[in-house]
Amino acid sequence: MSTRPVKSVSLKSVLAAILGICLLGFSSHSFALKILNGRPKNKTSVLEYHNGPRRDGVYVDKTLTRASARLFHLDRSFKAQIKGEVYAQLLYVAKGGRKGVIIAASEGNNVAAFDAVTGKTLWERKLGSPVPLSYLPCGNIDPLGITGTPVIDKSSGTLYVDAMTTPDGGATKRHLVYALSFSSAFDPLHP
């Protein structure tokens, strides 16, 4: 699958600063990463939008410099795929060593966890049917599913996500908040 350039420079900066990697791009089905010296170096997790309640998106990593950025290389073995367009910010959970987990959520109401080094899918969960644009009064996202960035409560191991769902093809529309176990995507709380 082809990739298109990421429109948001801040998303590139966020992942580069947090993980020591640079987001190359993502399409509706895949994203590719450039990895610094073959591994993420920063152990900082990104557990919510802009990694904090201030929503300023400021990340400081003194090891990420113009000189160190020249060492980036494309890791062609990294492959990660999710069904649906991705508008939500990717999240990252540091797991120690070179292991870590990337969380992605899509407009197809899919949430997936990927190994941050290989891109291997660790788990994926579909949270109901998204709402077709033809059943919405306005907007330009088709279908409408998960647009907002999920939040991870690392202490409880819970991932919270809001999904626009429809049980009947679009006539009934509901925002449901799901609480998923971070380790397996099991739904410990009903929406």
What's the structural domain count of the chain? 1
In a domain, 168, yes or no: yes
CA distance 184 to 177: 17
Give residue 17's pLDDT.
Answer: 39
CA distance 186 to 190: 11
In a domain, 2, yes or no: no
Give residue 76's pLDDT.
Answer: 82
Whether pTM > 0.85 for this model: the answer is: no
In a domain, 172, yes or no: yes
Of 117, 63, 51, 59, residue with least CA distance to 89: 51
CA distance 190 to 110: 17
Give residue 134's pLDDT.
Answer: 95
| Tens of pLDDT, residues 40-65 | 455 678 899 888 777 777 766 777 78
| Tens of pLDDT, residues 3-21 | 333 333 333 333 443 444 3
Question: Any idea which residue has 């069904």 for tokens?
Answer: 83
In a domain, 128, yes or no: yes
In a domain, 4, yes or no: no
Domain that holds residue 146: 9-181
CA distance 31 to 3: 7
Contact yes or no for 34/58 (Cβ under 8 A): no
In a domain, 189, yes or no: no
In a domain, 186, yes or no: no
Contact yes or no for 23/33 (Cβ under 8 A): yes
In a domain, 65, yes or no: yes
Transcribe 4-47 into DSSP letters. -B-S-HHHHHHHHHHHSEEEEEE-SSEEEEEEETTS------B-
Question: Which runs of E-coded beta strand occur in the chain?
Answer: 21-26, 30-36, 72-74, 80-81, 91-94, 100-105, 110-115, 121-126, 151-153, 158-165, 174-181
The low-confidence residues of the chain, meaning pLDDT below 50, are 1-40, 190
Contact yes or no for 129/114 (Cβ under 8 A): no
- The token pair at 113 is 């966890």
Relative to beta strand 110-115, strand 21-26 is unpaired
Task: Cis check for the bond before 53: say yes or no (omega within 30 of 0).
Answer: no
